[in-house]
Amino acid sequence: MPISILMPALSPTMEKGNLARWLKKEGDRIKSGDVLAEIETDKATMEVEAVDEGTLAKIIVPEGTADVPVNDLIALIAGEGEDAAAIAAGGTAAPAAKVTPATPTPATPQAPSPAPAPAPAASPLNGHGAGEAAPRLFASPLARRIAKESGVELTLIQGSGPRGRIVERDVKAALAAGTAKPAAAPAAAQEARAPMPAPAPSPAPGGMSDETIKKFFPVGSYEEIPHDNMRKTIARRLVEAKQTIPHFYLTVDCALDALLALREQVNATAAKEKDGTPSFKTSVNDFIIKALAMALIRVPDANVTWTAGAMLKHKHADVGVAVSIPGGLITPVIRAADTKTLSTISNEMKDYAARARARKLKPEEYQGGTAAVSNLGMFGIKNFSAVINPPHATILAVGAGEQRVIVKDGQPSVATLMSVTLSTDHRAVDGALGAKLISAFKDLVESPMGMLV
């Protein structure tokens, strides 16, 4: 029987992706391990490998298609002895096909495909009496969530996914066509509820609608640039972070003179490559990453992640570093930064930054982490407060180093100072604990030899 190739989940949070390019065409022989297509997520472009052997009989989703939901059918492979032409003529009709999710090239942990939800219990809500069994309903988690939020009945919607599965686009299409009726409330609950006046309409959770906003500006005075997947994801995660994480901020000034002097000495010790270039060149940001990692180890109660059921206390400090890329930003993670030398951190960051801008990072290189650094000092920004990037409990916002007049030993003197602001998740790192963490960071920056031993 034909093998169904489904849109793969390239990360645990991925719900949809863009099918950028097919690297095989219909009629091509496929071997296990062959690269079939390129999939674009909000963060990177990934190659997808075949798991089974056969002939690529039918491409269901053409290249260039955007927002293809995870687990949607994208192609059919004819197995050994099967007629590829007959399968191609059958189109997407593959209810009996063997289902094989495509495999992303990087060996990343994949979230298991969600199992179909169990049939709802017999109740007036699903239209079945106590003696009748409700029909089994296949729908994706995203489709169920949209249906629940919109108050519609999934049983009234025809699914277009594999094996009749209801997916996001089916719910949205039903809503747009007006064919999805609101789910009826239980009769008993309706009778018990006293009549109440209809509430006044309230703004959507996201604020003003697109049309309302556009009315403020004359037609033709602006250009509409649709959001890409990266910008949509950044927007969603930032709103989620500010709405669900109680941010708390702590600011200190750090003297940089000793660190700048040590940096020159460290860079002077770099061995030369064959072409005469140094094997590494540390930046101030490399010292900051190392200092934050060591501070987290010195204050272990701050090296944590909040979950509803428990606090996750980490054994190493995995520090994410915000990197600006076209259209947004990404946060590659320096794993166990507390154990790495400054030269190693420097070379890793250069590699990550280059591949991040080319959107070639693997999911395991930018997901997770215990804390993060966001440095805008190179833009001359003196001070700012960064938004925490879940699942982190802290993020350090770094401003520019600048010469300022300070009082030292009762006399005015000039020093190079850098303002840093620590944003903490107050559920996990409260004020006193955050103060200990940022104080440990300040001590390491101002006495940087401690990072070399």
Using the structure block, give the residue that is written with the tokens 């590494």.
280
* pLDDT value at 127 more than 50: no
Q: Which domain holds residue 180?
A: 134-190
Which of 128, 247, 314, 426 is flagged as catalytic?
426
Rounded to an integer, what distance in angstroms lies between the CA atom of residue 76 and that of residue 95?
12
Per-residue confidence (pLDDT) for residue 282, from 0 to 100: 96
CATH code of 148's domain: 4.10.320.10
Active site residue 128: no
Q: Based on the domain organization, do 255 and 398 belong to the same domain?
A: yes
In a domain, 45, yes or no: yes
Q: Which two tokens stand for residue 436?
A: 């200990």
**Most confident region among 21-25, 67-71, 266-270, 357-361 by mean pLDDT:** 266-270
Q: Based on the domain organization, do 263 and 307 belong to the same domain?
A: yes
Q: Based on the domain organization, do 81 and 138 belong to the same domain?
A: no
Q: Give Cα 236 distance to the centre of its chain.
A: 10
Per-residue confidence (pLDDT) for residue 121, from 0 to 100: 40
Q: Based on the domain organization, do 138 and 77 belong to the same domain?
A: no
* pLDDT value at 176 more than 50: yes
For the segment 329-364, what is each residue's pLDDT rounded down to a tens digit? Answer: 999 999 999 999 999 999 999 999 999 998 888 888
Q: Based on the domain organization, do 161 and 39 belong to the same domain?
A: no
Q: Based on the domain organization, do 78 and 154 belong to the same domain?
A: no
User: Cα separations (Å) of 277 from 266, 271, 346?
Assistant: 15, 8, 15
Q: Based on the domain organization, do 82 and 142 belong to the same domain?
A: no
Instruction: Give percent of the chain with pLDDT exceeding 70.
Output: 81
Q: Based on the domain organization, do 76 and 185 belong to the same domain?
A: no
Per-residue confidence (pLDDT) for residue 99, from 0 to 100: 52
* pLDDT value at 103 more than 90: no
CATH code of 75's domain: 2.40.50.100
* pLDDT value at 187 more than 90: no
In a domain, 242, yes or no: no
* pLDDT value at 116 more than 50: no
Average pLDDT, the chain: 82
Measuring CA to CA, which residue among 267, 264, 261, 265 is closest to residue 281?
A: 267
Q: Based on the domain organization, do 11 and 141 belong to the same domain?
A: no
Per-residue confidence (pLDDT) for residue 100, from 0 to 100: 53
Say which range, 32-46, 231-245, 438-452, has the weakest mean pLDDT: 32-46
Taking only Cα atoms into account, the Rg of the chain, rounded to an integer number of angstroms, comes to 27
In a domain, 217, yes or no: no
For the segment 306-322, what is each residue's pLDDT rounded down to a tens digit? Answer: 999 999 999 999 999 99
CATH code of 265's domain: 3.30.559.10
Q: What is the model's pTM? A: 0.62
Asked if residue 37 lies in contact with residue 102, where contact means CB atoms within 8 angstroms, the answer is yes
Provide the pLDDT confidence category of residue 371 given band limits of 50, 70 and 90: very high
Number of compact structural domains in the chain = 3
Rounded to an integer, what distance in angstroms lies between the CA atom of residue 16 and that of residue 101?
14
Per-residue confidence (pLDDT) for residue 206, from 0 to 100: 56
> Between these two residues, 315 and 114, which has the higher pLDDT value?
315
Provide the pLDDT confidence category of residue 398 given band limits of 50, 70 and 90: very high
Per-residue confidence (pLDDT) for residue 102, from 0 to 100: 55
Per-residue confidence (pLDDT) for residue 155, from 0 to 100: 78
For the segment 407-444, what is each residue's pLDDT rounded down to a tens digit? Answer: 988 999 999 999 999 999 999 999 999 999 999 999 99
For the segment 42-74, what is each residue's pLDDT rounded down to a tens digit? Answer: 667 788 888 888 888 889 999 888 888 888 888
Burial pattern 372-392, b for ≥16 Cβ within 10 A else e, equals bbbbbbeeeeeeeebbbbeeb
In a domain, 447, yes or no: yes
Per-residue confidence (pLDDT) for residue 436, from 0 to 100: 98
In a domain, 196, yes or no: no
In a domain, 175, yes or no: yes
Q: Based on the domain organization, do 440 and 372 belong to the same domain?
A: yes
Q: Which residues contact 165 (CB under 8 A, 6 or more apart)?
A: 71, 116, 138, 139, 140, 159
Using the structure block, give the residue that is written with the tokens 């001359």.
380
In a domain, 234, yes or no: no
> Between these two residues, 315 and 1, which has the higher pLDDT value?
315
In a domain, 331, yes or no: yes
Q: Based on the domain organization, do 99 and 172 belong to the same domain?
A: no
Per-residue confidence (pLDDT) for residue 192, from 0 to 100: 40
Per-residue confidence (pLDDT) for residue 126, from 0 to 100: 40
Say which range, 172-176, 253-257, 408-412, 429-433, has the weakest mean pLDDT: 172-176
Provide the pLDDT confidence category of residue 323 given band limits of 50, 70 and 90: very high
Rounded to an integer, what distance in angstroms lies between the CA atom of residue 102 and that of residue 49?
6
Q: Based on the domain organization, do 81 and 150 belong to the same domain?
A: no
Per-residue confidence (pLDDT) for residue 334, from 0 to 100: 97
Per-residue confidence (pLDDT) for residue 234, from 0 to 100: 87
Instruction: Give percent of the chain with pLDDT exceeding 90.
Output: 46
In the sheet that 65-69 helps form, which strands lie side by side, from edge to edge? 65-69, 16-22, 35-40, 45-49, 103-104
* pLDDT value at 92 more than 60: no
